[in-house]
Amino acid sequence: MRAFGGGEGADRPSTRASLGQGRVCPEYARRLLRLADRVAAVQKAEKPARVPTNGRQTLYLAGASQPDAQTRCSRTATRTRVKLPLRMGLLMWCVLAVGLVGAHCGRWQPKAPRHGFQGKSSSDSDPKYTEEEAAKFYDDYDAQAALFLTKETLALWAYDSNITDHNLQKKLAASAETAKYTKESWSKLIKFPWKDFSDPELKRKFKLSSVLGNAALSEEDYNKLQSIVGEMSAIYSKAKICSYQDKSKCDLSLEPELTELLMKSRDPEELRHIWIEWRRNSGEKVKEQYKEYVALSNKAAIMNNFDNAAALWLNNYESDEFRDQIGELWHQLKPLYQQLHAYVRRHLRIKYGDGVVKAKGPIPAHLLGNMWAQTWGNIADFMLPYPERQSTDVTPNMIKQGYTAERMFKLSEEFFTSLNLSAMPEMFWDKSILEKPNDGRELVCHASAWDFYDRKDFRIKQCTRINQEDLYTAHHEMGHVQYFLQYKHQPIVFRTGANDGFHEAIGDVMSLSVSTPKHLRTIGLLEEESTETDKKASYEATINYLFSTALDKIAFLPFAYELDLWRWDVFEGKTTPENYNCHFWKLAHEFQGIEPPVDRTEEDFDIASKYHIVADVPYIRYFISFVIQFQFHKGLCQAAGQLENNAPLHECDIYKSATAGNLLGSMLQLGASKPWPDAMEVVTGQRKMDASALREYFAPLEEWLRAENEKTGEFIGWDKTDKYCVQTRDELRKLVERE
């Protein structure tokens, strides 16, 4: 795997991992490693590499790349404190050993990674396991699985909407029942020679069902894993901090209080306080549980015949080259991100001063208007390219017009029905939670859409605030429900997205139309501009609109990438608990160009202040969705006739186009019954993920940013951070005292 993003890549394998791959075969690699380790035993362990940055010494525990076998052995031999003849002898041994390894391994091929259970061949299987019997078995399994999943999802909903110990125990019990049934069925399913089936649909059902997931664990381990995830999620959901303004007020939750403060406050000290305290009260508290979570997740993956949990997660994408494809997408997108980063950094420097934001440095993460610096739209107010032009933020008009949470979701529903797609069932409106309850209960406020697997019960849970961001979130979550409705006729195993990124993209595709100034005027949330016919004014308004959109859509991309790069490294053993936090900040610096507002240690666990980390939700799906939604948008715009005469992609609004809706519906109805390239081809005519449509959408802005950054002499990229990341707070104090 090549390193992504240039420089020190997160995907570079360690020496031990790489010895079994490429030019060194396993049996000789083991001998060479034993030699290197024997030599290394006579010297002290190497200290972490110190990297000079801006006059300070920054400690990166995970920073240095690993040497190859010969370099490692030779370096150890030359550094060993023994007499010169012995050192020379050891060095000669290293060169000879690697040469012998190369000679013996010339014809050796590396072992292929494991990809789950492949089923028996027809020649090995019992004659009673026929394809006809397999079809009957699967129909029975599907009907029973739906009942178990409905019961489990009801229990999970009860817990997430009212976090109590009683509801937790009911949730765990229901999950255990489902896991037990699934495991029993799976043990029968893999006896069928499904690889030899002639019916492609039945073959795909068995292929997808042959991956058991966490249910492969023993009952004790499964229950333990579920308990750990439940505990971590509860700590996250219940976390509260004290107010910066009033230290006696200690009831500020992430939703809505902290989110709104980050959106509105321009006091860097208050923002710093919120940033630190949220992490102290959430992520820092779960590090021990997370270690157990990693071990059990990997154990489950191995029991599914995968090398580790990263391989199990990536199996969803049905491609051995998937990680390379994601890396290529990021390289397509990185130049645009760097231009946006440079422009935003300049305006933050103007706002807060050179002492807070350095001209060539990474951006302090607490200044970007979001708890995780994943989207930057909340700081658009003081950096719009043309502030004299009308803002496309419709929040004031939503409040002025008396919008409610239900009205926001009704507006979203009307957009879907205008495309000849399905309305929400009556049960949706009866059972969804669209606002944060005021009865004092604790709940998971993170917005989510729910399929209860009975083909009639679908819900959304969202602590909706009356603002533009949550209006688009409403469309996003309803996009999930629309997908549920479209594929509800499919068997259970196909009732999911073509891949996880598809599911996340659908609602956002709608938002690309909803957010256009044209559409916002159509629904009365944006006033008509008298200067609409003025070409200069129109251009400036377009740049403002694209810039505001980019603060959410483009700023998000490296964050979505690095979150799962970190987890893949953890699952694969490249990142250990001793450098969890420092490795995360290394990735955040490399990909996002951000830094923490204060020095960090391994006693902190900042990545776990994000919901998806503690809730066991893979995140690369969001990176994928932010790319493919523009591919889908372009395909639907072409179907709607919106791109004729070279009309720009960013102006397209597919509202009321039944042609576009029917095309989208035909893809959604497939669920996972076809490989995702087949589904993508329905709407886009393409079979690969590609960032070209995204770059086309933002082309006017990218051209403008390049010219503006060149005009102001802005540095593109970022230097090293001057923040420390070390093992302990005591060590940090000593380092600071020495300065």
Is 703 assigned to a binding site? no
**What region does 141 belong to: left with phi over 0, alpha with psi -120 to 50, or beta?**
alpha
The neighbouring-strand residues paired with 725 are 600
Q: Look up residue 57 and give its amino acid.
A: Q
Is 633 assigned to a binding site? no
58 three-state secondary structure = strand
Structure tokens at 541: 């308004």
Is 446 assigned to a binding site? no
Q: Is 616 exposed, middle or buried (0-12, 13-18, 19+ CB in 10 A)?
A: middle
Backbone angles phi, psi at 318, to 5 degrees: 55, 40
Q: Judge contact between 344 and 554, C-beta under 8 A.
A: no
Cα angle: 8, vertex 597, 268; to 5 degrees:
145
Structure letter (DSSP) for residue 433: B
Is 580 assigned to a binding site? no
Q: Judge contact between 374 and 556, C-beta under 8 A.
A: yes
Q: Name the one residue in this structure whose structure tokens are 């999802």.
A: 153
**Per-position b or e across 367-376, b if 16+ CB within 10 A of its CB:** bbbbbbbbbb
Q: Is 63 exposed, middle or buried (0-12, 13-18, 19+ CB in 10 A)?
A: middle
Q: Of the candidates 585, 575, 551, 549, which has an alpha carbon nearest to the alpha carbon of residue 365?
A: 585
Q: Of the candidates 665, 43, 686, 176, which has an alpha carbon nearest to the alpha carbon of residue 416?
A: 665
Q: Of the candidates 723, 541, 609, which has an alpha carbon nearest to the alpha carbon of residue 374?
A: 609
Q: Which helix (H) or strand (E) holds 208?
A: helix 200-209
How far apart are alpha carbons 527 and 468 in whole angstroms?
A: 15
370 three-state secondary structure = coil
Catalytic residue list: 477, 612
How far apart are alpha carbons 662 and 654 in whole angstroms?
A: 12
Q: Judge contact between 476 and 515, C-beta under 8 A.
A: no
Is 476 assigned to a binding site? yes
Concatenating the DSSP letter of every residue in 644-693 gives GGG--GGG---TT-HHHHHHHHHHHTTTTSS-HHHHHHHHHS-SS--SHH
The neighbouring-strand residues paired with 449 are 460
363 three-state secondary structure = strand
Structure tokens at 449: 């859409």
Binding residues for Zn(2+): 476, 480, 504
Binding residues for chloride: 317, 621
